[in-house]
Amino acid sequence: MIRISRGAEPTTLTRAATTRLSVAAERFNLHGAPSDELKRKLTGYNARSTKQALFLAQKQKCAWCERLTDFSSAPVEHYRPKDGAWRNLPHEPRKVDGGHYWWLSWTWSNLLFSCMRCNDQAHKANYFPLKSGTVAASPPAAPLSVPPPVPISAVSGEQPLLLDPAGGLDPLDHIEWRPTKMSFDRRDWTWTPLGLTVEGSATVAILKLDELADRLQGHVRTRLLPSIEEVEAHVAKRRRPAARQRWKKLLENNLVPEAEFSAFTWYALGHLVREDYRILHGLAALERPGAR
């Protein structure tokens, strides 16, 4: 996961939010939340223009796992779930706040482009636990005026456990990838996500990022190691400028926002090509991927 910058809100979403929020508020006033009547009105946030804007801002990758993701089959996902928030972690008993966060269904800062895996019921689903000892934003009380005030209920005071890749934090400070089985050939190292903070650990658990281990081992074998071996061959034959050039190209191809698994790659390269070797041979430092 890397830091994402969404860019400007599509005007079609702004327009849809105004009208759809009013309709939802009417349903809320009549039936409350959670209710099927309200839930049925929480649609229209995934118009093509909205999804396209997220898809391009995220460089065609899932916000959570950074896999290159097909546009047509993937969903627009809500950071704060639109029809009830699960306040527990996956290994804990389910604890549902049913009244949250329907009013953010069309809020640009709450939308992300996701792959099917990460968005499904076995992964992100409706998980939205908060830090221990902190409280959730108050859900709105009926009756709401129509059109409703904006924001209906501010959530900025909440301290979520799930990392928000577009929330300004750098996910690299929260989730690290480490190799295990390092006594084996580096082709056969397996890679494990490790939470560096409570937010990182919760995010790894919710998204089950450890399931990506096989994909990432394949990424190392087919994408990173062939290039690293070229760099090393240049170094061994004392072709320093060529080694530096090849290394630079490797970074340009794999640590840019467009590159698949760039957060993982940043950590993996640090283990595969150690810092003392890089310094000794004048290879460029590893720059963090993700939006500035």
Residues at the contact surface with Zn ion, assessed by CB under 5 A: 62, 64-65, 115, 118
Taking the complex as a whole, the smallest distance from the CB of residue 225 to Zn ion amounts, in Å, to 24
Q: Which two tokens stand for residue 7?
A: 């860019």
Q: How far apart are CA 153 and CA 139, in angstroms?
A: 6
Q: Which of residues 67 and 100 has its CB atom nearest to Zn ion in the complex?
A: 67
Q: Between 45 and 64, whose beta carbon lies closer to Zn ion?
A: 64
Shortest approach of Zn ion to residue 16 CB, angstroms? 25
Closest approach, Cβ 23 to Zn ion, in A, equals 31
Question: From the CB of 177, what's the least distance to Zn ion, in Å?
Answer: 15
Q: Measured at the alpha carbon of residue 209, what is the angle toward residues 275 and 156, in degrees to the nearest 5?
A: 95
What are 210's strand-pairing partners? none
Q: At a CB cut-off of 8 Å and minimum separation 6, what does 51 contact? A: 71, 76, 113
Report in angstroms how near the CB of residue 24 gets to Zn ion at its nearest: 28
Of the pair 99, 193, the CB lying nearest Zn ion is at 193
Cβ closer to Zn ion: 60 or 227? 60
**28 or 264: whose CB is closer to Zn ion?**
264
